[in-house]
Amino acid sequence: MNSANSPLGKPLDRVDGPLKVTGKACYAAEAEVPGLLYGAVVSSSIARGRVTRINAAAAEALPGVRLVLTHQNRPPVASYDKPYEDDDAAEGSPFRPLYNDRVLYSGQPLALVVAETQALARHAASLVRVEYEVEAHQTDLQAVLDQAHDAPAELPEPRGDFDSAFAAAANRIDREYETPVEHHNPMEPHASIVQYQPGGELLIHDKTQGVQNCQRYLEQVFDMEGKIRVLSPFVGGAFGSGLRPQYQLPLAVMAALKLKAAVRVELTRQQMFTFGYRPRTVQQLKLAADGEGRLQAIEHRAIGQTSHFEDFTEHEVEWSGMLYACDNVRLGYRLAPLDVYTPLDMRAPGATIGVYALECAMDELAYEVGIDPLELRLRNYTETNGNEGKRYSSKELRACYQQGAERFGWSRRPAQPRSLRDGHQLVGMGMATGVWEAMQMPASARACLDADGRLLVTSATADIGTGTYTAMTQIAADAMGLPMSEVEFRLGDSSLPQAPLEGGSATVSSVGSAVQRACAGLRQKLLDAVQQSPASPFTGASLDAVEFVDGQLRLKTGEHAVALRDIVQVSGALDAEASVKPDEKRDAWATATHSAVFVEVRVDEDLGTIKVSRVVSAIAAGRIVNPKTAGNQIVGGVVWGIGQALHEETLIDHRLGRYMNHNLAEYHIPVNADIPEVEVIFVEEHDEVVNELGSKGVGEIGIVGVAAAVANAIYNATGRRVRDLPITLDKLL
């Protein structure tokens, strides 16, 4: 499509918006299924031990209760006797619900009560009595730091001589930072409906970020290859919590197989705290710089918690070896097993907490050297990823710094902490750099033009609220020269063309490239069809000689045009399928998105209360397909980053090994009153290496660096440095 009419790059409304605001979008627990039964999970009340007895008599005696499923009466599960995994698995043995009598963590599912109504199932579950043989547990990371082991992560080798460079430097800092456990709290709780069909096939509605991952997982677990189809057209938020299949899914399958009926299992809000989370970490940063602030040495060591049955790893320290120019770098990453469930990827996993520590340390170094924190970052700017020894395919971080600082008014920032006041409020300004990977995964898509000239594009990807429906519709409409109203994109069905998990900000790059390639194949078929007649004015024309504009195929000379609808009315519906994978030319380059976040805070001098009053986030993420939905992602990331800095923390009573604030009343997240106007700047960035679209993705980058910018602003306001998140008023007073 010509650039004037192309929908690419325009801030268009979400195509699925009307369905969502009118309540017509159907989520996992809302599918209308005849004869549906309801399951309620019984969770363990201890953190470690054995189940000695499950007394379900009172529950089973209730009219309408159909089953109490436990490890003693579950159907045979093929994979419980052999290894299996999913696309987001950690190293180790995946958790197996109802495997045996062992209790591995507090909140572990021990039974499933299935009844004819949801209310009855939950009431009956409350009547199930579990007796235990209790064993001593440990859930406190600080208590087992000396028991940590090396994480199974491919860390970059040390470069240079850190010890000598650190010892010889004019300026040195050595700081420890701590981040807490945080839990996913998407609006839609995890839920699954499993429909048992004649012949033993299963049709499943699941809250997931990857229908084909769930399908493969269940096929392995239950030895049912070719008998499972998974649907998930709408997801009410996930951001990592839907990458791995959660335990309600195999529980629902077990019950459906045993009863040969349709079963729904939906987790309560409290049970949303009984699986993956962002892990608690303790991080040590050592930075050294010369008198001008140029980095001489960096050491970043982190210890994160994991479960006893899996080693959860994420990219936590690598950012310190790639974000700035430094010849002497040493990185370390260890894990400490606890009697807890395995952590899980959570928006910008690893970077959210690793970059927090790095960017706070950079701020502390700036004060140590006596230069502006932004100037410190500019003096250490690099066009090369030091971990890989490769230049970036594109990097407009300087422009992020410049445009963000100008819009924010960084030049007015007081260098001396505690020197700017507004009445009884101390005002401070802070900033931080953000970075995230620019990934692409193998993906496929199919494009079909029907006899009415309408385009249907399909891929088994997901839309977790990020705007996938809209972005893919824009890409397809642009590729075929059709108005958005003539294009439909379908996703969330495991029977559709292959797609990766929706995560890592890679969906537009991966699936979008496949959509573009499928449409290219369809354009060729349309040209071939219109050339069938010997008298066709298009005879002998190549794709380079024609264009697809305003629903027409026409010669670029403008002499002849034919409506796409007219072509398919003669030829019949046409379709094309394409698969893409990362181009080999990427191998020679480092690829990443970057950001610069600027924050102003106001701290009540007497009460210690903190208010974020201004935020500017400048993003360099290649081609932005839809600035409106992309801007939504950045604003959402900023909100989450403010929550990370000031609010979010899952508190555990280590005597019980149990999370105590497992609800939305006491698990604090930001509300409207906590969030100021957030200004998002998309810096122009062209990249012909990352993928055919030139897009890098924006889902993760919005949160990276925000917590550090808030923490740095609080120091500028108060002169008090808090190094363990969240920063609450009791820590400031």
Q: What is the DSSP string of 668-728?
A: ----GGG---EEEEE-----SSS-TT-B---TTTTTTTHHHHHHHHHHHHHS----BSS--
Residue identified by tokens 């420890």 is: 176
Spell out a b/e string for 657-679, using b for 16 or more CB atoms within 10 Å of the CB, else e. bbbeebeeeebbebeeebeeebb
> CA nearest 650: which of 333, 229, 344, 231?
344
Cα–Cα distance, 430 to 47 (Å, whole number): 41
Alpha helices in 85-235 (DSSP H): 118-127, 162-168, 211-222
- Contact yes or no for 301/331 (Cβ under 8 A): yes
Give how far Cα 186 sits from Cα of 183, 210, 266, Å: 9, 16, 14
User: Does residue 546 sit in helix, strand or coil?
Assistant: strand
First to last CA, the chain: 60
627-646 and 706-718 helices, crossing angle to 10°: 50
The encoded tokens of residue 67 equal 């089953």
The encoded tokens of residue 81 equal 């006797």
The encoded tokens of residue 458 equal 């399909």
Would you report the helix, strand and coil content of the chain in percent, each value rounded to 5? 30, 25, 45
Determine whether 700 is an active site residue.
Answer: yes
Cα–Cα distance, 419 to 605 (Å, whole number): 12
Give the DSSP letter of residue 590. B
- Contact yes or no for 440/506 (Cβ under 8 A): yes
The residue annotated as part of the active site, out of 299, 364, 649, 700, is 700
- Contact yes or no for 305/280 (Cβ under 8 A): yes
Cα–Cα distance, 597 to 604 (Å, whole number): 23
The encoded tokens of residue 12 equal 């268009």
Q: How many helices (H) and strands (E) does the chain have?
A: 16, 35
> CA nearest 114: which of 5, 192, 7, 27?
192
Which residues are catalytic, by number?
A: 700
